[in-house]
Structure 1
């Protein structure tokens, strides 16, 4: 079954003024769709290789699968992690765990923002649950297909590729990061964490 571009959970202009309609439309309809199309193409090419028993290009298509698959997964999380009139301090279970592992929400926010601004080139900053260490961690993925913390579950994702913010914020990544804090859907983050903890 082919992967499909999921509809946004809100209107294109619903995240204004922090995230502009033009960028949301381009980011979702063009960039995210390109990942979905690339993922479907890679899976089709790998299926064809299996049928023919010809694996000469397996390295290429598996890299394409990793790149586009990761892009699709992380973008889907990115859209769901935001909502109109979102933001504010974390709530519920995630607020508890942030206090436990980072000391306070403000300390968490400072560390997450600093990590986001410091991502070299393009990439992501993620709040994740690590089931091995049984704790929350902030991780960065500068090449999202090479995220090597294999066991973690991403809970909150911030896209730092320039296509995510350049039309409105140009090269002012810190301003985009600061605006994004006004959009976080803590209900979504809490649901993801609760699933990780079996609650």
Structure 2
């Protein structure tokens, strides 16, 4: 376990040294209200812990004002194939979020070896690429989220 954690830390440092936070495609002030408060957006954006850079980059790029709704095309088809329905996927995603204690992330990932979508959660700054999974969406469950 220790050698795996050590390898994971080195991978995190390599990824973090490559990525940096970019400006989101909308104003940080209040563009995401009422879904995210100005304070929550500020805390997220200013929480530039090196181990969270990649996760947050992925998180911010996946959102947009007036976004949301059902996925379309191939993503929806794959969700329906692997979970039975979008409702089943949504319930599993929520269940995974409720099981996570402390700070972390919930992810919809493509399990590369299984070529199947799966919901996983990770503690703190761990990200699915470290395990060979391909992230599709993520949900930030850091303790600072309000």
Using the alignment, how far apart are the partners of 1:126 and 1:74 within structure 2?
10
Residue 60 of structure 2 corresponds to 79
TM-score by structure 1 length? 0.60
Indicate the structure whose relative CO is greater, using CA pairs within 8 Å and at least 6 residues apart.
Answer: 1
| 1:90–1:105 contact (8 Å) kept in structure 2 | no
**Over the residues paired in the alignment, what is the CA RMSD in angstroms?**
2.0
Using the alignment, how far apart are the partners of 1:87 and 1:146 within structure 2?
23
Count of aligned residue pairs for this structure pair: 129
Matched, 1:122 2:103: yes
Using the alignment, how far apart are the partners of 1:81 and 1:2 within structure 2?
19
Greater strand content: 2
The one of 44, 69, 81 equivalent to 1:27 is 44
Unaligned runs of 5+ in 2: 1-16
Following superposition, the deviation at residue 3 of structure 1 comes to 4.6
Using the alignment, how far apart are the partners of 2:112 and 2:18 within structure 1?
30
Using the alignment, how far apart are the partners of 2:18 and 2:115 within structure 1?
34
Matched, 1:4 2:47: no
Unaligned runs of 5+ in 1: 36-67, 167-199
Residue 8 of structure 2 corresponds to none
